Structure 1
Amino acid sequence: MLKEYAKLIQLLILLIIILLVSYIVKNYFNPFLYIVVLYLLAKPSQKFFSKVTKSFKLSAAFSIIVLNLLLFIMIFYLSNNIILLFQKYIVLNIDKLRSFYGDFINLITVSGSGDILNKGSNLIDSSIIRKGAAYTSESIVSYVIANICVYFLMVDEVVLKKAFYSFLPTSVINNIGKSILKLKKLAAIEIMLALISTIETLIGFIFFKVPEPFLLAIICGMLDVLPYVGTIIVFIPLIIYNIVLKEYFIAFGLVVLYILIQINREILETKFIGDKLDIHPILALISIYIGINLFGIIGIISGPLYILLAKNIIISSTQEDFT
Structure 2
Amino acid sequence: MNKFNARKLIFRVIVILSLLVAAYFIIPVSMPLLFAGISAFFLEPIVMFFKRRWKMSRKIAVAFIYIVSVMVISIICYLSITQIMSQIILLSKQAPYYISKLSDMWLHMQENISKYTEDFPPEVSASLQKTTMDFIKKVEEFFLSFFNYSKVSAFFSEIPSLFISLLVYMIALFLFMLDLPKLKQITYKYLKPNTAKKIKIILNRLKDATFGYMKAHLFVSFIIGGVTLIGLLLIQPKYAITMTIIIWLIDIVPFLGSIIILAPWGLYHLLMGNTAIAVKLFILAAILLIIRRVVEPKLMGDHIGLSTLPTLIAMFIGLQLFGIIGLLVGPFVIIFFIALKETGVIKLNFKI
Same fold, TM exceeding 0.5? yes
What is aligned with 2:176? 153
Between the aligned partners of 1:207 and 1:267, the Cα distance in structure 2 is 24
- The residue number in structure 2 matching 1:68 is 73
Residue 261 of structure 2 aligns to which amino acid in structure 1? Answer: V
- Which residue among 255, 262, 270 is the counterpart of 1:235? 262
Q: Which residue of 1 aligns with 2:219?
A: 192
Percent of aligned pairs with the same amino acid: 18
**Is 1:213 the counterpart of 2:213 in the alignment?**
no
The 8 Å contact of residues 202 and 336 in structure 2, kept in 1 or not, is answered as: yes
Q: Provide structure 2 residue ranges, at least 5 long, that are not aligned to the other structure.
A: 1-19, 114-128
Give, in angstroms, the shift of residue 210 of structure 1.
Answer: 4.8
Residue 246 of structure 1 is matched in structure 2 by: 273
Supply the AA of the counterpart residue of 1:160: L
Matching residue of 2:291? 264
> TM-score under structure 1 normalisation?
0.67
Cα distance between partner residues in 2 of 1:40 and 1:154: 10
The residue identity in structure 1 corresponding to 2:73 is N
**Aligned: 1:287 with 2:314:** yes
Distance 1:120 1:60, change over 3 A: closer
Counterparts of 2:88 and 2:237 in 1: how far apart (Å)? 16
Unpaired segments ≥5 residues, structure 1: 1-19
Task: Say if 1:50 and 1:58, in contact at 8 Å, map to a contact too.
Answer: no
Contact map agreement 2:44 2:177 (CA 8 A) in 1 = no
* SS class of match (2:74): helix
- Cα gap change, 1:105/1:187 in structure 2, threshold over 3 Å: closer, same or farther? same
The counterpart of 1:311, out of the listed 330, 334, 338, is 338
**CA distance, structure 1, for counterparts of residue 341 and residue 318 of structure 2:** 21
Equivalent residues of 2:70, 2:170 under 8 A apart: no
CA 1:283–1:77 in structure 2 vs 1: closer, same or farther (change >3 Å)? Answer: farther
AA at the equivalent of 2:104: S
Q: How far does residue 180 in structure 1 lie from its aligned partner after superposition?
A: 1.3
CA positional deviation for 1:140: 4.8
Other-structure match for 1:273: 300
1:162 equivalent to 2:188? Answer no
Whole-Å Cα distance in 2 between the matches of residues 320 and 229 of structure 1? Answer: 37
* In 2, Cα distance between equivalents of 1:45 and 1:75: 28
Distance (Å, rounded) in 1 between the aligned partners of 2:274 and 2:106: 17
CA distance in 2, matches of 1:43, 1:69: 23
Return closer, same or farther for 1:313/1:196 CA change in 2, 3 Å cut-off.
same
CA-based RMSD: 5.1
Name the stretch that deviates more: 311-320 or 281-290.
311-320
Which one is further off, 283-292 or 253-262?
Answer: 283-292
Alpha-carbon distance in structure 2 between the residues aligned to 1:191 and 1:71: 18
Tell me the distance in 1 between the aligned counterparts of 2:328 and 2:297. Answer: 15
**Code of the aligned partner of 1:68:** I
Cα distance in 2 for partners of 1:293, 1:219 equals 28
Give CA-to-partner distance per residue, 1:251-287, whole Å, 9 cap, x none: 1111111111111111111111222333232321233
- What is the match of residue 253 of structure 2? 226
Structure-2 separation of matches of 1:136 and 1:254: 36
Question: 3-state SS of the aligned residue for 1:211?
Answer: helix
1:169 match: secondary structure: helix
In 2, Cα distance between equivalents of 1:201 and 1:233: 13
Larger Rg over CA atoms:
2
Change (3 A) 1:53 1:319: closer
Shift in alpha-carbon separation, 1:60–1:220, aligned structure 2, 3 A: same
Q: Is the 8 A contact 1:292 1:299 kept in 2?
A: yes
Bigger RCO (CA 8 Å, 6+ sep)? 1
